[in-house]
Structure 1
Amino acid sequence: MKKYVYLFFLTCSFLSCQVLDEKVKGLVTPETYYTTAEELEGAVVPIYNKLVNLYDRTGRVTCAMYGADDVTTSKALPDLVEYEVFKPTGANAWLKYWWSNAYGGINSANNVIVNSSKVPDSEAKNQALGQAYFSRAWLYFYLVRIHNKIPLITDITAHPDIKRSEPKEVYDLIVSDLQKAEKLLPDSWTGYRSNIAMTSGTAKSTLSLVYLTMAGYPLKDESKYALAAEKAKEVIDNSGKWGYKLVTNFADLWTKQRFNDEIVFGLFYNNSNGDANQSAPLCGAPAEYSGWDYYFAELNFYKAFPAGARKDATFWTKFPIETKDSVVIKDWTQLQQKHPYYKKYIEIDGYDWTKPWVYIDWNSSRTNVLMRYAEVLLIYAEAKAMSGAPDATAYAAINQVRKRAGLADLTAGLNKEAFRDAVIAERGWEFAGLEPNGSRWFDLVRTEGVEKAAADRDASEIPLSVTPTKANYFAPIPDGEVLLNPNLAK
């Protein structure tokens, strides 16, 4: 493995980040450092560090998605409850963590992009740039979907008075960055990066989702449906180039989650080297096993979920409990939270489902999967239908996912709106429970379905603070950022 040199930055906030500019003998600065592609590659490492830090605990990155109907949380966790009940505040600790790491990653990507002009052209330079462009696009895509109007920074100078940009401007940059990334990134990597680095397929797949999102709320640019279908079809038709395919058994996605052929974009951890992932097993485990109860399934979502292999692999409903003399099996209704849990996010190396109370570690090497090939198929199905009509190729795409789930083919002859609704439901089931990129929340926002989903809520759930409207679709900017720059309040 190559040894990387890290660049260190002095920041007063993540929106006013600037390089420490002192004329000290031997000090490493962008003006003196970037001369070779290898040095530029070294500057890519901090981008990955920010990404893995961002996603290493469920709740940090997903707090703003708790308004969806697939998850709820413990009443004892106020930072998550705020979003569950549609009353988030700028003081939310999880929000601050997400914001700072997202903009920290963007600053690191900008560092590579801006300083690449000092480096002679080469394949290695292109690969470094491709990773930077993709990462910046990915992070802005999350920020704009969560906050809508956000600061847009593309350089490495201080911006103490920056204003929020309109979402259209942010999406234009995202599309431009991904179009560059798909040309600069390789189809595959060799050596230690072969399973972990972004590829051209990652960029193309993400671009298809970006186009699909732009077709919905708030931009509602329906011309993007055709572009989403075209880009997703490009990935599907050339899936062998990147090795993408559906894993045969849905459960294998989670029992063989370190590496599998369905991963389009994943963040990989190595707990033995200190690269720890805290998203499993305790985040989604019940208090009965010393779990943290960050998230579990909303009752009506669980009840409406179609029976079959996918439901069995998704939900945890039977719980062995150790007593003084024996082990008893309790149903989810007998637990403290009285909700089903998400089984698919629990397993780590050495986990024993017959003795889940046995502590292994709160850190793991479990992969956080941010995009799967199943999503590309469902993007194509929805976008193809909405850009014209649900033809045979659209049906074939969704039916691949349904077949793997143990379901019959989708009803033939649906009009495009009914077909679209079926795809949205399918996405909800396939990516249930805060899969970061297939989040149910983002689907509800872009299809303007938040209000309907919130209305279908079991009476025993945490009471809502408000009846949600579009005013509740987007999260506030952290108070600390607004205090530093009052322009961000506007």
Structure 2
Amino acid sequence: MKIYKLILSALLLSGCSDYLDVNPTDRFTEATFWKTEEHANAGLTATYSSLMTVFGGNITATFDAITPNFYSYDNQAGAGNIARGIHDAANTGIINNRWGAAYQGIGRANSVIARVPDIVMDETRKKPVIAEAQFLRAFFYFSLWSVYGGVPLITDPPVKEQGDLPRNTAEEIETQMLTDLDAAAAALPATVTAANKGRVSKATALALKARILLYGGKWAAAAEASKAVIDLKSNALFPDYRGLFMPENEGNTEVILDVQYKQPEFTHSNDIQFDQFNSFAPTQNLIDEYGLTDGKSIKDSPLYDPAKPFENRDPRLKNTIIYIGSQFKGKPVVAATYPQTGYGLKKGTTYKDAEASPAGKVDNISDLNVVLIRYAEVLLTYAEAQNEAAGPDASVYAAVNQVRKRAGMPDFPAGLTQAAMRERLRHERRIEFVGEGLYYFDLKRWETADVELNKEVTNYLGKVVDNRSFNPERDYLWPLPTTALQTNPNLDQNPNYNR
């Protein structure tokens, strides 16, 4: 069921106990809601809707704009502030917005988990509803844990007193996420039907579990969780890298979780932001990381010709990036088309190379779903975790080479050491997931952010367009938002940030 089938009454539930002794006739309250299966579905749908504000729209691209992958000249959501190291608890949009949006989703999930068990309905439907809410609660906590570290752990429906809770440790948040995901995986179906498109499955819960374990450096457990997804055989790589992100292929076999959109109710503006506004401009730093079709880098491959720099390149380059001399929207690309760096972001738009924008298309309106978890991530998570746990065995090669084969790239060479495989896998993740918001977190968990996030970024002419700064004594975590600190005196700020 698409999440745009939003039952607005569920969104009115704030959990504020001050109003439970009155029963207005024009809206639901906690006293009159949570009575029927329809209410259960409405509450769950409202919980899904919070994915839009926490993970939807251009948010994944925003995280890439903190890295050398993209340059955000207009400081989208404060990404430029973070990239330049001038962010603080008050001046950066995503730092402030993520906190409130995630806790809104957590509050909704908590209400579903607490209230639905008492509703009289078919148990075969009740259990998945609760399990889906458990997954969503874990995912919203992941959005906090991955940037702030420890945060207040709330597992009950919203009440005012929760606004004064102190922070729990990052370890306690991790434990709760994994507990929720284990419970969800046990109750969710291996796959979802067409009628339930957009909802989570067992594979979704296990894939997020694998990501959390990978981020925590728990290699054997991360390999086990990702292998469990592989063994389900519920997902597979989509054969066309560009096609898997196009509207006609939404919900394809590779997609494990996405944010659902539908015109006219729920839309975003990625088409115009990625293309005409050039708000997320790929950098020359990123372009130089795409290898050649012989599997070698531009420094080492005899196939690389500086006079024809886009020939014989990893096909993911042309399927991700708009570059000078290529065709996009039915016309040739020239330097002035993308003035920030000379490059545009194709991935995440609905436009095609050889076709002009369709008649009647409103460029600032798109309902392309935003992919959050896909099967390629599961394969590369398994490869990295297994390499760290046991070395580059045959299963590591098998997993990563599936991803490379789909991309049109050769297999990794046999006989790599663990360290050599590690470096290649890290590079593979960067190229495979451009614009999907994973590279920033990879750099932090690899503890290479103090190097990679301190680099200047350049345009196609080699001119520096942005100076970056990352303080390893501070910037591995974000500051807690000023708004949260002002309303809750029991919150402690992260180290080396002002309150």
TM-score by length of 2: 0.84
Q: Secondary structure at the match of 1:131?
A: helix
Distance 1:462 1:476, change over 3 A: farther
- What is the distance in 2 between the residues matched to 1:225 and 1:118? 39
Match of 1:187 in 2: 190
After TM superposition, what 4+ stretches of structure 1 lie above 6 angstroms from structure 2? 319-322
Distance 1:128 1:329, change over 3 A: same
Does the CA-based 8 Å contact 1:229-1:383 persist in structure 2? yes
Q: Secondary structure at the match of 2:240?
A: coil
Match of 2:97 in 1: 97
**Alignment partner of 1:67 is 2:69:** no
**Alignment partner of 1:311 is 2:317:** yes
Match of 1:245 in 2: 236
- What is the distance in 2 between the residues matched to 1:483 and 1:226? 41
Distance 1:191 1:379, change over 3 A: closer
- What is the distance in 1 between the residues matched to 2:378 and 2:346? 24
**Alignment partner of 1:225 is 2:228:** no
Q: Aligned AA for 1:48?
A: Y
Does the CA-based 8 Å contact 2:71-2:466 persist in structure 1? no
Q: Aligned AA for 2:254?
A: E
Gaps of 5+ in 2: 292-312, 494-499
- What is the distance in 1 between the residues matched to 2:123 and 2:181? 20
- What is the distance in 2 between the residues matched to 1:411 and 1:190? 40
Match of 1:453 in 2: 452
Pick one of 199, 206, 214 that aligns with 2:216.
214
Q: Deviations over 1:195-238 (max 9, x none)?
A: 211111111111111111111xxxxxxxx211111111111122
Q: Secondary structure at the match of 1:250?
A: coil
Distance 1:29 1:253, change over 3 A: same
Q: Secondary structure at the match of 1:370?
A: strand
Gaps of 5+ in 1: 12-16, 216-223, 286-290
Q: Aligned AA for 1:24?
A: V
Q: CA deviation at 1:489?
A: 3.8
- What is the distance in 2 between the residues matched to 1:346 and 1:31? 44
Select between 374-383 and 121-130 the one with higher mean Cα deviation.
121-130
- What is the distance in 2 between the residues matched to 1:245 and 1:227? 22
Does the CA-based 8 Å contact 1:10-1:20 persist in structure 2? no
- What is the distance in 1 between the residues matched to 2:322 and 2:491? 42
Does the CA-based 8 Å contact 2:72-2:281 persist in structure 1? yes
Match of 2:250 in 1: 258
User: How many equivalent residue pairs?
Assistant: 456
- What is the distance in 2 between the residues matched to 1:276 and 1:266? 14
Match of 1:399 in 2: 401
**Alignment partner of 1:472 is 2:475:** yes
Does the CA-based 8 Å contact 1:263-1:371 persist in structure 2? yes
- What is the distance in 2 between the residues matched to 1:238 and 1:321? 40
Does the CA-based 8 Å contact 1:69-1:453 persist in structure 2? yes
- What is the distance in 2 between the residues matched to 1:321 and 1:312? 10
Match of 1:135 in 2: 136
- What is the distance in 2 between the residues matched to 1:457 and 1:102? 32
Match of 1:14 in 2: none
Q: Matches of residues 57-206 of structure 1 in structure 2 within 5 Å? A: 57-59=57-59, 63=62, 66-75=65-74, 79-91=78-90, 92-120=92-120, 122-156=123-157, 157-158=159-160, 159-190=162-193, 192-193=195-196, 195-206=197-208
Q: CA deviation at 1:334?
A: 6.7
- What is the distance in 2 between the residues matched to 1:51 and 1:232? 23
Match of 2:304 in 1: none
Q: Deviations over 1:91-116 (max 9, x none)?
A: 22333332222111111001111223
Distance 1:62 1:405, change over 3 A: closer
Does the CA-based 8 Å contact 2:387-2:396 persist in structure 1? yes
Q: Matches of residues 349-368 of structure 1 in structure 2 within 5 Å? A: 354-355=355-356, 360-368=362-370
Please give the root-mean-square deviation of Cα atoms over the aligned residues, in Å: 2.8
Does the CA-based 8 Å contact 1:9-1:19 persist in structure 2? no
Does the CA-based 8 Å contact 1:7-1:43 persist in structure 2? yes
**Alignment partner of 1:300 is 2:285:** yes
Q: CA deviation at 1:67?
A: 2.5
Distance 1:72 1:465, change over 3 A: closer
Match of 2:22 in 1: 24
- What is the distance in 1 between the residues matched to 2:453 and 2:11? 45
Does the CA-based 8 Å contact 2:190-2:203 persist in structure 1? yes
Q: Aligned AA for 1:135?
A: L
Distance 1:330 1:357, change over 3 A: farther
Q: Deviations over 1:1-24 (max 9, x none)?
A: 88957334576xxxxx63552422
Distance 1:282 1:353, change over 3 A: farther
Q: Aligned AA for 1:79?
A: G
